[in-house]
Structure 1
């Protein structure tokens, strides 16, 4: 790929799968967005929307996996965009890299903020006198980011071990939650309840409300590019990285559907629980009692913390690679590697500081925080879509060992179509009446990001950044290997 090797290959096939599986994180995703789905379509959209969107995301993952096999680098999306573009390679790479960076920063911020929110919910259940506040949420988020940065700083091996643990935490935790919801409650909804439709979005169109409900699954299925970003630290990355992407999506789809069904059939009072501050937590309390609900809430919190850790790891590698090509301010700092731990330590702390900056407005306004992190999913999926779109236009694409053969362009076409549709949905109003508190700020946040990237590009970047840098021929690069 034209780079001297700085990072050690300590990630096995399972470790590579684990990072994407952990970032997708069905427990974190479903518990964070289940309440929105109850009001935007209800059980019918939560279940059948989950199935449909999962299939579409598999198309995205398959096309990304084919590209990952051809270009297994930490730069991942922005690197492959620069290589696949016929013209203006620097610009394609620049915009893809910044969309990916902003999306990942927003993902780390949103996941850890959600974890802090659920931690406060647990504390409030345990000690009723405790008053949950926005200021406490921000402070807890800062502590979480600090701990995750220390874990990423110490060694790649520790992160790999934690990601292995996280897979079993998710799977065993899901089994415990599902079995508890199936066996303990004395009342379950009838089988036909899965077809129940609810539209409490405020919009009169049930079709529109149901389409918004598809966002629950889209919110959950983000971050599977983590396997791509860890390519330079994965053995046999041309095969194991795409397999990690596909397995993470497929296993998450199956396990998530089971968890979704368990929560839906455990619902007692739909209207009461749908209007609760944390609907899935209220479902657990109503169905199982406060004591059991608290124990299950610990599983949910643990899943969110693992998700935030994996998000930061993936973001760090993207920062490292983007800086290696001189595309970030202070690039010389961010792509340096610690000789002791063999990790990009400075990039780790940048990956911790940026989410904290996004979280700070939550000290005063939850709406302001939501406006900033809403670009997470839009930024990531646009970053996913650019190299897939460029691969679709390229007639002489040279695939790697893992490829889709003659179906590559068809799969890429479906993937691009779904990315366009889902991003349009994410930028539409999601509640009515539209007020400053309910307004969807994703388009504004995305426009600000693109405006800054564009001004920066035409001001200075286009003269110094021409896309991924080559340090020499394969033989010359091999002689530069630092390990």
Structure 2
């Protein structure tokens, strides 16, 4: 019989099958005994098979704050404006973005429902294993896990690169003779990610406070920029109307070699990257109180606020931009700064770009936080080499510091793509979109197909609209996955310096990960596994015997009742 560590003043016994979740411990008649009272959050994470290792110091609003910082609307719009304008002009900012948001919102709603059912930082990876046919759960969860990790590990470097490009664009604005080198861009980006990693290593309570301030700055700076773009532009002084006509603001200016329909779909790249980050609450749910409802609410709030605010801001740009082609091809090399230069004085350009730079930095460390939780949770199940190091929690900060710095190091290797030119570097942005979509698609499709009858809904769910949102989300994602691999040009014009390197950077990496699984990792990886100490994970008979022993020793025994919020 298993032995139990000596109980303190109270021992709590939790029956896994009495908690309304599907987990790695379900249907095995297991009971978990711990030496302290537990609340609903800890009961759920224990039933899912994991120890409570983080402090739950995030609320729904602070979790939303982190996600909104990862979303980083203003810096995301500024960094990816090239994808909007260079494919279909203003249409990418207006009705193209609206169409994209229909699909994004459907994906976010489906994800929120899944998050309520599986509130673990493993997120979609864990959910995939629980909803997949037993024969395929290992390979499918492996694929989802690695795909999602590619998104997370490329997030901070790509945001920092966008931040560095804006900083150096301002330098070029001051000194037209200055032209930044790849080495300068690399070192500046490295410095930004290094400082961000220091912040991301802080305790959860500090991160909650920092991201709260960051969220306020996001809203304030975006509003100020919006007002200045609309009310403080100098278009009239240039002999132009205050705003563009509707025909220009909503028109398609196809700058690709594809038909208009394909070109519009290609412009979705910007919207998808702008909206990447609404899944962050999923990865932070083990640090959030009342996670089964707070996490999905944060996901939905992040998606809707991003869609609405992002559209309003881009609408302002579409109605004030003077020359789309000039903004895309300006010698500054940064379309957002070039756009601002078209409609306002240098002083205002500096102010608004400074806002975007500050928010880009905030977004960088928010991305580092989310990425570290993903590496931690996947390593907890042995998905990565040297997993025991990345799955450790720092005893001082109670955060996965090792995972933070492992991601930083990998990010510096990815940034070496800078020396290959802008086209390979652009692939980091596209990985953020396609990698997320691959990892989102698999569990959503499983939810509406194989697991349709067996899926146990969490307290936050879509009810009878679940299948509708799931079908729209799956259809949208399956459409966009191939589109995100399309180049802007085709035929003889599709040269290595302008090709879409996603097929190499993302699919090449995923091919290696899957190849590694079949060559070796399948021997040691069978899907998510419990990390609860075997001495505390008992059969029904063992739990009864130990309970009797505890009672004899006059210890208080509490049987956890999932119908009560606290015990």
TM-score, L = length of structure 2: 0.81
For residues 95 and 285 of structure 1, the distance between their equivalents in structure 2, rounded to whole angstroms, comes to: 44
Q: Which residue in 2 is equivalent to 1:312?
A: 368
Residue 111 of structure 2 is aligned with which of 45, 48, 64?
A: 64
Aligned length: 478
Is the contact made by 2:273 and 2:429 (CA closer than 8 Å) also made in structure 1?
Answer: no
| Cα deviation code 1:214-238 (max 9, x no counterpart) | 2221221112211100000001010
Q: Which residue in 2 is equivalent to 1:343?
A: 399
For residues 136 and 386 of structure 1, the distance between their equivalents in structure 2, rounded to whole angstroms, comes to: 40
For residues 537 and 182 of structure 2, the distance between their equivalents in structure 1, rounded to whole angstroms, comes to: 50
Is the contact made by 2:149 and 2:374 (CA closer than 8 Å) also made in structure 1?
Answer: yes
The alignment status of 1:136 with 2:149, answered yes or no, reads no
The alignment status of 1:324 with 2:380, answered yes or no, reads yes
Moved more, 222-231 or 205-214: 205-214
- Where do 5+ consecutive residues of structure 2 fail to align? 1-47, 237-241, 539-556, 558-567
Q: Which residue in 1 is equivalent to 2:28?
A: none
Is the contact made by 1:68 and 1:242 (CA closer than 8 Å) also made in structure 2?
Answer: yes
Q: Which residue in 1 is equivalent to 2:542?
A: none
Query: How far is the alpha carbon of 1:475 from its aligned partner?
Result: 11
What SS does the aligned partner of 1:36 have?
A: helix
Pairs within 5 Å for 1:200-349: 200-203=255-258, 205-276=259-330, 277-349=333-405
Q: Which residue in 2 is equivalent to 1:457?
A: 517
For residues 421 and 82 of structure 2, the distance between their equivalents in structure 1, rounded to whole angstroms, comes to: 21
Query: How far is the alpha carbon of 1:373 from its aligned partner?
Result: 5.0
For residues 383 and 155 of structure 2, the distance between their equivalents in structure 1, rounded to whole angstroms, comes to: 21
Is the contact made by 1:178 and 1:259 (CA closer than 8 Å) also made in structure 2?
Answer: yes
Residue 421 of structure 1 is aligned with which of 475, 479, 485?
A: 479
Moved more, 309-318 or 278-287: 278-287
Query: How far is the alpha carbon of 1:198 from its aligned partner?
Result: 0.4
Relative to its length, the structure with more helix (as a share) is 1
For residues 328 and 201 of structure 2, the distance between their equivalents in structure 1, rounded to whole angstroms, comes to: 41
What SS does the aligned partner of 2:201 have?
A: helix
Residue 444 of structure 2 is aligned with which of 381, 388, 400?
A: 388
TM-score, L = length of structure 1: 0.94
The alignment status of 1:175 with 2:223, answered yes or no, reads yes
The alignment status of 1:197 with 2:252, answered yes or no, reads yes
- Where do 5+ consecutive residues of structure 1 fail to align? none
Is the contact made by 2:320 and 2:343 (CA closer than 8 Å) also made in structure 1?
Answer: yes
| Cα deviation code 1:369-416 (max 9, x no counterpart) | 334553221111111111111111212100100001122122111111
Q: 1:198 to 1:3 in 2, by over 3 A?
A: same
What SS does the aligned partner of 2:194 have?
A: helix
Query: How far is the alpha carbon of 1:297 from its aligned partner?
Result: 0.2
Larger Rg computed on CA atoms: 2
Pairs within 5 Å for 1:373-452: 373-393=429-449, 394=451, 395-432=453-490, 433-452=493-512
Residue 149 of structure 1 is aligned with which of 178, 197, 201?
A: 197
| Cα deviation code 1:305-357 (max 9, x no counterpart) | 11111111111001111111111111111111111110111011012111111
Residue 421 of structure 2 is aligned with which of 361, 365, 377?
A: 365
Q: 1:212 to 1:194 in 2, by over 3 A?
A: same
Task: Give the alignment's Cα RMSD to 1 decimal.
Answer: 2.0
Q: 1:226 to 1:23 in 2, by over 3 A?
A: same
For residues 297 and 85 of structure 1, the distance between their equivalents in structure 2, rounded to whole angstroms, comes to: 46
Moved more, 71-80 or 212-221: 212-221
Query: How far is the alpha carbon of 1:172 from its aligned partner?
Result: 0.9
For residues 312 and 435 of structure 1, the distance between their equivalents in structure 2, rounded to whole angstroms, comes to: 34
Moved more, 44-53 or 266-275: 266-275
Q: 1:344 to 1:274 in 2, by over 3 A?
A: closer
